[in-house]
Amino acid sequence: MAGPLDKNSKQYFTTRMSELDTERSSFVGHWRELSDFVTPRRGRFFSQDRNKGDKRWNNIINSRASLAHRVARSGMLAGMMSPARPWFALEVMNNEVMEDPASRIWLSDSAKQLRSIFNDGNLYSMAPVLLGELLSFGTGAMLHVDDFESVARFYTQTVGSYFISQNSRYEIDTLVRDFEMTTSQMIEEYGLDKVSIKVREAYDRGNYHQWYRVIQFIEPNPNVDQRSARSENKPFRSVYFEWGTDALAESNKFLRVKGFDSFPAHCPRWDLTNEDVYGTDCPAMMALGDIKSLQIEERRKAQAIDKMVNPPLKGPPSLRNANVSSLPGGLVTYEGDQNNKLEPIYQVQPQLQEMRADIDAVERRINEVFFTDLFLAITNIEGIQPRNQFDLIQRNEERLLQLGPVLERFNGEFLGPLVERTFDQALKAGILPPPPPKLEGQQLKIEFISTLAMAQRSVATSSIDRITAYAGGLIGLGFEGIKDKFDADQAVDEYAHAIGVPPRIIVSDEEIAKVRQERQQMQQMQQMMEMGQQAANTAKMAADAKTGGEANMLTDLQKAASRG
């Protein structure tokens, strides 16, 4: 009786890889079709399928789906994680701590540092590729590894080149990559002592560009030990090994084994069906029927036009050996009377207008599935152009609701883990400032403030707008007591939080209280000075009046004496 399988042996990895291959196999045919008709350069279903320069666009006559895919990919990047503006903010669960100005400023500065890592690294070159994979195949995969120069480095994988598995919480916790490396790449990456004898011999012979199949396994570590600081005892492990008879014979020899504190990859999915591991119901899947019918209609329309302008001809037998010219002004000489001439076999008069109308209807359906009406709202909007971004968001709020479930899943499976892992990497790299005391032991929370996220949260700001206008209207009608009912300070705080305003430009309640107290003291001092000045003026007027009265009495006495 065989004993339990050693989870540190190559036999364990090859056995599990075979199981994952079986799990994935039912999706492969569908992915191939999606690749052929939407994004022919995406998808790699064999490890040798690299650097293929052959014509892969032969199935595409009408490129509407590919163009819609490009618009949707760009629109999702700009709407969810634009490099041109902040798209997330860091907070903590404790509301009292969030009222602390020093804590808010530290969280804001830390978020700014993370955005700097994303901007300086390669995230924004890899993220569009990931979004394209999601739109086309419903599943994406991106490696998120440490980097000495840029703190974090990202590598997007294409469908067919990897396997994934999930835990009991339906969270992806296993990623297996199947790829190839050259002799020189393997020696440079892993060292001469780590590769197989076959690779070393090729290197010695100077075969630097010979390709070898390599497997990378990222999974929960069965050797985890929370008390140990060693890499091989961390919660996740990454194992590289060569594939092939000779390489697998060296059962205990791996190219590299490394541990991670958190899962070093992100595998977002568009939508899920029950316990399915791979994503479903993405735009390309939903539009595939329309996309294929569009190619057929375009082909038929082109054939009809071709037959109309260059129809099949018939003529007399004498033309059998004649040189028939189809050029404008060309001359064809043959024997025969005027009734035995060269003419079309049949007249083709295609209903091009009806065909074009049906093609337009199919293209509109494809555009709708890929949300191009949302992402090109400014271009396609009719009538008066929107005054600002908020006006544009309001006009498209109903269409935006279609993306709601996708945004929530994308935030939960990609953007949230992306920010959390990068935050941990920045902490380990020592590039974040020391946190204030009030933040110690607090749980970090990520608040998304991208354009699409803000559109979803516009309900909060619109309610503040309405109550502010309502309260202002009542005050204008003379109900001054409403001022005591409406907390304007809190309204500003809530509004600023809802639209992601940097905390440095919002004065804290403590500072406001100090400013108002100083202002009140200044007003009291000014009132006291005014009252003192008024009292002095009154006394002066009384003195002047008394002095003037005594002078008048003396004058009267003098006048009386002179008359006597």
Model confidence pLDDT, tens digit, residues 517-529:
888 888 888 888 8
Structure tokens at 54: 């052959």
Residue 114: phi, psi to the nearest 5? Answer: -65, -40
Long-range pairs for 20-28 at CB < 8 Å and ≥24 separation?
Answer: 20/163, 20/164, 20/165, 20/174, 20/176, 21/163, 23/163, 23/165, 23/277, 24/163, 24/277, 24/278, 27/278, 28/160
Q: Average pLDDT for residues 397-411, to the nearest whole number? A: 76
pLDDT of 555 reads 64
Who wins on pLDDT, 543 or 460?
Answer: 543
Report the distance separating Cα 111 and Cα 117, nearest Å: 10
C-beta of residue 395 within 8 angstroms of C-beta of residue 115:
no
What does each C-alpha distance from 173 to 145, 217, 237, 288, 413 come to in angstroms? 15, 11, 11, 30, 11
DSSP bridge pairs for 444:
92
What does each C-alpha distance from 441 to 88, 97, 444, 471 come to in angstroms? 22, 11, 9, 40
C-beta of residue 240 within 8 angstroms of C-beta of residue 178:
no
Tell me the average pLDDT of the chain.
84
Q: Is 215 helix (H, G, I), strand (E, B) or coil?
A: strand
Who wins on pLDDT, 507 or 409?
Answer: 409
Q: Average pLDDT for residues 3-16, to the nearest whole number? A: 86
What does each C-alpha distance from 314 to 331, 335, 345, 368, 509 come to in angstroms? 16, 14, 6, 47, 93
Nearest residue to 187 via CA among 195, 179, 197: 195
pLDDT of 534 reads 82
Q: Considering just the CA atoms, what is the radius of gyration of the chain in Å?
A: 38
Task: Report the half-sphere exposure of 210 (CA within 13 A, side-chain side).
Answer: 13
Structure tokens at 57: 């666009």
328 pLDDT band, cuts 50/70/90, is confident
At position 294, the amino acid (one-letter code) is L
C-beta of residue 176 within 8 angstroms of C-beta of residue 17:
yes
pLDDT of 472 reads 76
3 pLDDT band, cuts 50/70/90, is low
Question: Tokens 């091989």 label which residue?
Answer: 232
411 pLDDT band, cuts 50/70/90, is very high
pLDDT of 211 reads 93
Q: What is the DSSP letter of 411?
A: I
Q: Average pLDDT for residues 314-327, to the nearest whole number? A: 77
Q: Is 154 helix (H, G, I), strand (E, B) or coil?
A: strand
pTM: 0.79
pLDDT over 50 (residue 200): yes
Give 268-298 pLDDT, tens digit per residue: 999 998 889 999 999 999 999 999 999 999 9
Report the distance separating Cα 173 and Cα 175, nearest Å: 7
Residue 38: phi, psi to the nearest 5? Answer: -125, -60
Structure tokens at 401: 């609701």
Give 22-59 pLDDT, tens digit per residue: 999 999 999 999 999 999 989 988 777 777 777 778 88
What does each C-alpha distance from 549 to 436, 555, 557 come to in angstroms? 74, 10, 13
Residue 366: phi, psi to the nearest 5? Answer: -65, -45
In 409-496, at which residue ranges do the beta strands (DSSP E only) sit? 444-448
pLDDT over 80 (residue 425): yes
pLDDT of 48 reads 73
Report the distance separating Cα 24 and Cα 18, nearest Å: 10
For 500: left if phi > 0, alpha if psi spans -120 to 50, otherwise beta; the answer is left
391 pLDDT band, cuts 50/70/90, is low
237 pLDDT band, cuts 50/70/90, is very high
499 pLDDT band, cuts 50/70/90, is low
- Tell me the range of 112-121, 241-250, 394-403 where mean pLDDT is highest: 112-121
C-beta of residue 118 within 8 angstroms of C-beta of residue 154:
no
C-beta of residue 313 within 8 angstroms of C-beta of residue 381:
no
- Number of Cβ within 10 Å of residue 153's Cβ equals 16
pLDDT of 1 reads 46
Who wins on pLDDT, 464 or 293?
Answer: 293
Report the distance separating Cα 390 and Cα 212, nearest Å: 53
Contacts of 242 (CB under 8 A, 6+ apart): 195, 196, 199, 212, 213, 214, 215, 248, 255
pLDDT of 106 reads 92
pLDDT over 90 (residue 164): yes
Nearest residue to 378 via CA among 391, 361, 365, 363: 391
